[in-house]
């Protein structure tokens, strides 16, 4: 089907994400400086550089599932910290949901993959809604994507809905008090500034919406 997501689309997605992380690196570091150690952008950039190198080194990245798994492993192997474990888990769970065989991902499978990614960060990080984590951007994005597909919309429209939900979710973390991760150590001082993990997840989803706008 014309509206299915191929490995080519995923490569465009990750390439756009790498570009957006490079441009947003300092901004993510500043969000992190308010409550943590000011390195979320730097750490994520190390991961996007690593998977960009992987993308450049081969002309054939196999099925979408194989590619998502390779990206997950590269992130787990290069980023470190909680963001490495969580971002790696997002991609590994999406890969597991898609499976190694299928040649293209339809909207329903992509929706399931995003829901599995959300479950992955829950399993790894024990976050709940409102804890001021990347969950607060990824969960609404996955729900919006799922809702759009369930109501008969295409993949492009589903990504747009997910992008808006992720950006609204990330912005809403500013008002939250952190209860997970390093920012939970500073108590009420975490209130007023968005969570850097939620902000970078919004970039991830926006990158997908950007490159799959006409799929």
Partner 1 sequence: MKRFMNEPQDVVRDYLNGLVAAHPDVLRLDTDHRVLRRANAAARPKVALIAGGGSGCEPLHTGFVGPGMLDAACPGAIFTSPVPAQIIAATRAVDTGAGLIHIVKNFTGEVMNFGMAQEIMAFDGISVETVLINDDVAIKDDDDSAGRRGLGATVLVEKIAGAAAERGDDLAAVAAIARKVAARARTFSVGLTSCTPPERGRPVYVMAEDEMDLGIGISGSPGRDRVKLAPAHEIAAMLLTEVLADLRPAPGSRLLVMLSGLGGTPDAELYLLYGEVAAGLRAAGLRPERVLVGNLVTSLEQQGAALTLLELDDAMLALWDAPVRTAALRWGM
Binding region for partner 1 (CB under 8 A) = 29, 33, 35-39, 42-43, 46, 76-86, 88, 124-125, 178-182, 184-187, 189
- Nearest to partner 1 of 22, 186 (CB atom): 186
CA-angle at 180, arms to 132 and 85, nearest 5°: 100
- Nearest to partner 1 of 6, 42 (CB atom): 42
Secondary element (H or E) of residue 71:
helix 64-78
Least distance in angstroms from the C-beta of 100 to partner 1: 17
Secondary element (H or E) of residue 12:
helix 7-33
How far apart CA 213 and CA 207 sit, in angstroms, is 10
Least distance in angstroms from the C-beta of 4 to partner 1: 31
Is the Cβ–Cβ distance between 143 and 202 less than 8 Å? Answer: no
Is the Cβ–Cβ distance between 183 and 197 less than 8 Å? Answer: no
- Nearest to partner 1 of 50, 156 (CB atom): 50
Least distance in angstroms from the C-beta of 138 to partner 1: 16
- Nearest to partner 1 of 160, 190 (CB atom): 190
- Nearest to partner 1 of 78, 207 (CB atom): 78
Least distance in angstroms from the C-beta of 85 to partner 1: 4
- Nearest to partner 1 of 65, 125 (CB atom): 125
Least distance in angstroms from the C-beta of 17 to partner 1: 20
SS3 at position 29: helix
List, in order, residues 6 or more apart from 60 with CB less than 8 Å away: none
How far apart CA 28 and CA 110 sit, in angstroms, is 27
Q: How far is CA 157 from CA 6, 20, 107, in A?
A: 17, 21, 10
Least distance in angstroms from the C-beta of 39 to partner 1: 6
């Amino acid at each position: 089907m014309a509206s299915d997501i191929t490995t080519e689309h995923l490569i465009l997605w990750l390439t756009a994400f790498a570009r957006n992380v490079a441009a947003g690196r300092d901004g993510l570091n500043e969000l992190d400086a308010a409550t943590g150690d000011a390195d979320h952008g730097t750490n994520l950039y190390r991961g996007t550089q690593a998977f960009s190198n992987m993308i450049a080194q081969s002309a054939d990245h196999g099925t979408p599932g194989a590619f998502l798994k390779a990206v997950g492993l590269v992130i787990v192997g290069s980023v470190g910290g909680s963001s490495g474990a969580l971002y790696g888990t997002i991609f590994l769970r999406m890969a597991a949901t898609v499976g190694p065989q299928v040649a293209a991902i339809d909207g329903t499978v992509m929706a399931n993959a995003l829901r599995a990614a959300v479950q992955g960060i829950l399993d790894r990080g024990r976050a709940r809604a409102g804890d001021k984590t990347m969950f607060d951007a990824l969960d609404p994005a996955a729900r919006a994507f799922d809702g759009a597909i369930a109501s008969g919309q295409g993949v492009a429209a589903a990504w747009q809905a997910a992008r808006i939900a992720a950006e609204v979710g990330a912005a809403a973390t500013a008002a939250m008090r952190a209860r997970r991760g390093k920012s939970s150590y500073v108590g009420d001082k975490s209130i007023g500034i968005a969570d850097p993990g939620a902000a970078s997840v919004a970039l991830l989803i926006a990158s997908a919406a950007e490159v799959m706008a006409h799929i």
